[in-house]
């Protein structure tokens, strides 16, 4: 009888031990749903929320709360296209939207022409924390030795002794790189990449000639260009949309008229719905802010 009871107890203990050490199944990653928009050349060169320089050609995005460095897969259900982005900015700040994509990321999933659209978001990897700015490059110069050893004359005991060290020269300031501009050398022509006036593609423009383009001459060229631009009269327009179908452009124009905005359609390769022109950027900014308050995205272009 006792041996039978002991056998039952051993079986129960073994079963409990196996149950308590079983590995729990991994929880599947959460899939988020929401509306995405995009931002491009108007913000190129500005500083993002984590300290980087915004480049619309890179696959990045802005989110209100996800830690910087978080990697996401963004899928457009209408086109079944997916793009992988990294969070480096904060936004969007228009109600009803969950994420702002860079120009390049929106182009990958067919979101450029509509401007906004529903997306599915899959978290691939969480960032290391709320504050994850890029570390600036720093260069330091090692200090010279502080002691000197000499040998006394031959008639003195053969013993070496240290002399007091000379005062160290002032330490040079650390070099911090806070502005980087990437240029390409093609033969004897120096070029840089910029967004085309229509805001949809990118082009390379010449900066100067190889040997003639030194740091001083390049700075002088830039100052001369800025003086010419300042002297030339400028106008600014607010572009609300660009369509391949004229009927879509007219439908947006009618919507703008209904909320009190006079617009026109500029026909080139696309039907572009625009408001303006305005003599100053500030006036164009006020018009764009009024549109965004009404839930309509827009961008400012200089002509």
Question: What's 277's domain CATH number?
Answer: 3.30.70.1070
Pair 37, 114 in one domain: yes
Cα separation, 46 vs 30, whole angstroms: 32
Instruction: Categorize the per-residue pLDDT at 162 as very low, low, confident or very high, splitting at 50, 70 and 90.
Output: low
Quote the Cα angle for 172-173-179, to 5°: 135
| 82 within a domain of the structure (yes/no) | yes
CA 34 from centre of chain: 21
Band (pLDDT 50/70/90 cuts) for residue 25 is very low
Q: Residue 128 has what pLDDT?
A: 81
Q: CA angle, corner 143, sides to 140 and 148, nearest 5?
A: 170
Q: Which of 7-11, 128-132, 168-172 has the lowest mean pLDDT?
A: 7-11
Smallest CA-to-CA distance from 255 within 265, 244, 263, 267 is with 263
The neighbour count for residue 55, using CB atoms within 10 Å, is 17
Q: How many domains does the chain have?
A: 3
Q: Are residues 241 and 216 in the same domain?
A: no
The two structure tokens encoding residue 160: 């070496």
Q: Is residue 79 part of a domain?
A: yes
- As a whole number of angstroms, the distance between CA 72 and CA 151 comes to 68
Domain containing 101 equals: 31-125
H-run or E-run covering 10: helix 2-20
Last residue of a domain, which of 125, 159, 192?
125
With respect to residue 287, please indicate whether it lies within any of the assigned structural domains.
yes
The answer to whether residue 139 is domain-embedded is: no
Q: Are residues 213 and 273 in the same domain?
A: no
Q: Are 101 and 40 in contact (CB under 8 A)?
A: no
**Residues 250, 210 within the same domain:** no
Confidence of residue 178 (pLDDT cuts 50, 70, 90): very low
Instruction: Determine the length of the chain.
Output: 303
Last residue of a domain, one of 125, 149, 167: 125
**Cis bond upstream, residue 92 (ω within 30):** yes
Q: Please state, in angstroms and rounded to a whole number, the distance separating the CA atoms of residues 303 and 277.
A: 9
Has this prediction a pTM greater than 0.95?
Answer: no
User: Which of 172, 203, 231 is the endpoint of a domain?
Assistant: 231
If you search the block for the tokens 């400012």, which residue do you land on?
A: 300
Q: 242 and 222: one domain?
A: no
pLDDT digits (tens, 9 = 90+) for 200-255: 566 666 665 444 445 556 567 767 776 776 666 568 888 888 888 888 888 988 98
């Amino acid at each position: 009888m006792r041996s039978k009871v002991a056998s039952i107890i051993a079986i129960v203990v073994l079963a409990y031990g196996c149950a308590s050490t079983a590995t729990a199944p991994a929880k599947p990653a959460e899939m988020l749903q929401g509306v995405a928009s995009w931002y491009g050349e108007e913000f190129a060169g500005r500083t993002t929320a984590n300290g980087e320089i915004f480049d619309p050609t890179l696959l990045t995005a802005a989110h209100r709360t996800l830690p910087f460095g978080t990697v996401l897969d963004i899928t457009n259900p209408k086109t079944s296209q997916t793009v992988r982005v990294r969070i480096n900015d904060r936004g969007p700040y228009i109600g009803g939207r969950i994420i702002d994509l860079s120009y390049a990321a929106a182009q990958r999933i067919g979101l450029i022409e509509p401007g906004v659209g529903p997306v599915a978001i899959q978290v691939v990897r969480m960032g290391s924390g709320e504050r994850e700015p890029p570390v600036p490059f720093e260069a330091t110069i090692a200090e010279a030795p502080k002691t000197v050893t000499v040998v006394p004359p031959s008639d003195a005991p053969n013993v070496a002794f240290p002399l007091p060290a000379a005062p160290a020269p002032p330490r040079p300031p650390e070099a911090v790189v806070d502005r980087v501009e990437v240029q390409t050398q093609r033969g004897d022509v120096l070029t840089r990449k910029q967004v085309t006036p229509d805001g949809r593609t990118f082009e390379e423009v010449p900066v100067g000639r190889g040997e003639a383009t030194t740091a001083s001459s390049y700075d002088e060229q830039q100052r001369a260009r800025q003086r010419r631009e300042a002297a030339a009269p400028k106008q600014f327009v607010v572009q609300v949309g660009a369509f391949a179908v004229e009927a879509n452009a007219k439908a947006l124009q009618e919507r703008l008229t209904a909320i009190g905005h006079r617009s026109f359609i500029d026909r080139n390769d696309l039907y572009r719905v625009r408001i303006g022109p305005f003599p100053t950027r500030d006036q164009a900014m006020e018009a764009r802010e009024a549109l965004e308050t009404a839930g309509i995205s827009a961008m400012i272009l200089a002509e």
